[in-house]
Amino acid sequence: MKALVWHGKEDIRCDTVTDPEIQDPRDAIIKVTSCAICGSDLHLFHNYIPGMMPGDIMGHETMGEVVEVGSGVDGKLKKGDRIVVPFTIICGECDQCKRGNFSVCETTNRKRHLADKVFGHSTAGLFGYTHLTGGYPGGQAEYLRVPFADATHIKVPAGIPDEQLLFLSDIFPTGWQAAAQCDIVPTDTVAIWGCGPVGQMAIRSAILLGANQVVAIDCLPERLSMAEAAGATTINFETESVLERLQELTDGKGPEKCIDCVGMESHVMATLPDTVLDRAKQMVMLESDRPHVLREMIYVCRPGGIISVPGVYSGFSDKLPMGAFMNKGLTMRTGQTHVNRWTDDLLRRIEEGEIDPSFVITHTVPLNQGPEMYQVFRDKRDSCVKVVLKP
């Protein structure tokens, strides 16, 4: 089959690889009908997250049709079922899964010994991500083996196009969880850094959860226009002062809730000297992340407020203002998304026409053009916001 394969920094190729096979009774194989490129894939493209190996298949936003099931899956899934695959692989049985903490499932990381060393305790296995999370082949491919398939799936009905359902795999529940863990009340101003696909979903989620005011921050006019379309007030951080504008919009008190949908690759700009210093340190391996947005959020957030961080950080961040964080009594909530915790509710909202996540798609191309689309998405060329690939 064809698959997008990681070969090193900025080197992803559409290779021919052997087809996946059932390895365990709980496995299923799907024929992929749609998959997408995520901002997290860009961190891997740049080789910022340790533990990638040449030959790894990319992709963790995938859906398709079940074509084969192992003997241990039956009952839960059968040939012909249409499923969206959550990017977190879950067993459904361990203590964490039972609590709904799916992204920290205790069973599914097959390279747990690595993660235990690096993180203290292992997290769940992830598709198309690093060997720290199991090194499972990803879904930017024609076929995908789904381990623990009896639990790791979201069954979706016929009659709704792929484009509306695909993002149940990651960015829709990710944006939703980011907003949900802000405990939004009707008087809240929610400020959202980053208007990429995750930020766009977080904006819609904050609106659906009843926020009084949503403020969206980015530097790309096309993404800001998409944020505005959903009712957000926008700030362009290249031409305006984020701190001043947020003060203005909140009567000088700061937003109650702040969401970081940017992560470790904050934009580097001479007018934001800390980003330049972070980049320099990152280059000589003195720091792994560029946490400009975290610093800004801690500074601007209203005392007693909540900071929600879906943006991915990989290792070590310097100069986080812990004094302000502690004295202002802030709360920080983070995590890879517990996808299946939210998807029943979100699927219902899609079915009832409350939201149509396909608004975010700007490019749809065949799988073999995937490598070029990594560059287009990374460079924000051609007003690109979200790329869907068709195997």
Partner 1 sequence: MFHFSNIVRSKGDPAIVEGGPSLKRPQDQLARALGWFSIGLGAMELLAPRRVTETLGMEGSETMVRAFGIREILAGIMSLSVDKNAGLWARVGGDGLDAAALLSGLTSDNPKKGNIALALLMVGGIAMLDYRAAQETKPQRPARTARRRLYPNRSGFPKGLEATRSGAKDLIKHATAGVAS
Ligand X SMILES: NC(=O)c1ccc[n+]([C@@H]2O[C@H](COP(=O)([O-])OP(=O)(O)OC[C@H]3O[C@@H](n4cnc5c(N)ncnc54)[C@H](O)[C@@H]3O)[C@@H](O)[C@H]2O)c1
Contacting positions for ligand X (CB under 6 A): 38-40, 42-43, 170-171, 174, 193-199, 217-220, 223, 237, 261-263, 266-267, 292-293, 310-312, 336-337
Name the residue nearer to ligand X (CB basis): 17 or 219: 219
| Piece of the chain touching partner 1 by CB under 8 A; list 152-160, 292-300, 330-338, 377-385 | 377-385
Q: Does 286 bind partner 1 (CB under 8 A)?
A: no
The CA distance from 186 to 178, in Å, is 17
DSSP 38-95: -HHHHHHHTT-SS---TTEEP--EEEEEEEEE-TTTTTT--TT-EEEEPSEE--S-SH
The CA distance from 203 to 179, in Å, is 8
Measured from the CB of residue 332, what is the shortest distance to partner 1 in angstroms? Answer: 24
74: left (phi over 0), alpha (psi -120 to 50) or beta: beta
Name the residue nearer to ligand X (CB basis): 208 or 268: 268
The CA distance from 94 to 105, in Å, is 7
97 binds, among ligand X, partner 1, Zn ion, none (CB under 5 to 8 A by kind): Zn ion
Q: Does 97 bind Zn ion (CB under 5 A)?
A: yes
322 Cβ neighbours under 8 A, 6+ residues apart: none
Q: Is 135 helix (H, G, I), strand (E, B) or coil?
A: coil
Measured from the CB of residue 143, what is the shortest distance to ligand X in angstroms? Answer: 23
Q: Count residues near partner 1 (CB under 8 A).
A: 67
Under 8 Å between Cβ of 12 and 370: yes
Q: Does 269 bind partner 1 (CB under 8 A)?
A: no
Q: Does 391 bind partner 1 (CB under 8 A)?
A: no
The CA distance from 363 to 381, in Å, is 11
Q: Does 324 bind partner 1 (CB under 8 A)?
A: no
The CA distance from 122 to 377, in Å, is 31
What strand order describes the sheet that includes 189-193? 233-236, 213-218, 189-193, 257-260, 306-309, 331-334
> Can you tell me which residue has the tokens 């409350």?
354
Q: Does 270 bind partner 1 (CB under 8 A)?
A: no
The candidate with the shortest Cα–Cα distance to 364, out of 216, 193, 162, is 162
10 binds, among ligand X, Zn ion, partner 1, none (CB under 5 to 8 A by kind): partner 1
**Residue in 94, 207, 269, 277 binding partner 1, rule: CB under 8 A:** 207
The CA distance from 245 to 227, in Å, is 17
Q: Does 357 bind partner 1 (CB under 8 A)?
A: yes
Binding mask 163-202 for partner 1 (x = CB under 8 A): ----------------------xx-------------x--
The CA distance from 218 to 199, in Å, is 10
Q: Does 73 bind partner 1 (CB under 8 A)?
A: no
The CA distance from 266 to 288, in Å, is 12
- Please give the backbone phi and psi of residue 306, each rounded to the nearest 5 degrees, phi first: -120, 135
The CA distance from 115 to 239, in Å, is 41
Name the residue nearer to partner 1 (CB basis): 19 or 65: 19
**Residue in 65, 244, 248, 354 binding partner 1, rule: CB under 8 A:** 354
Q: Does 69 bind partner 1 (CB under 8 A)?
A: no
Q: How many CB atoms lie within 10 A of CB 119?
A: 12
| Piece of the chain touching partner 1 by CB under 8 A; list 78-86, 122-130, 208-216, 248-256 | 208-216
Q: Residue 270 has what DSSP assignment?
A: T
Kindly identify the residues of this chain, within the stretch 91-130, that bind partner 1 according to CB under 8 A.
Answer: 110
Q: Does 209 bind partner 1 (CB under 8 A)?
A: yes
The CA distance from 61 to 63, in Å, is 7
Name the residue nearer to ligand X (CB basis): 37 or 66: 37
Measured from the CB of residue 123, what is the shortest distance to partner 1 in angstroms? Answer: 19
Measured from the CB of residue 236, what is the shortest distance to ligand X in angstroms? Answer: 9
- Positions that interact with partner 1 (CB under 8 A): 1, 3, 5, 7, 9-21, 23, 46, 53-55, 57, 110, 135, 137, 141, 185-186, 200, 204, 207-210, 220-222, 225-226, 228-231, 238, 279, 283-284, 353-357, 359-360, 362, 368, 371-372, 374-375, 379-383, 385
- Positions that interact with Zn ion (CB under 5 A): 38, 40, 91, 94, 97, 105, 107, 170
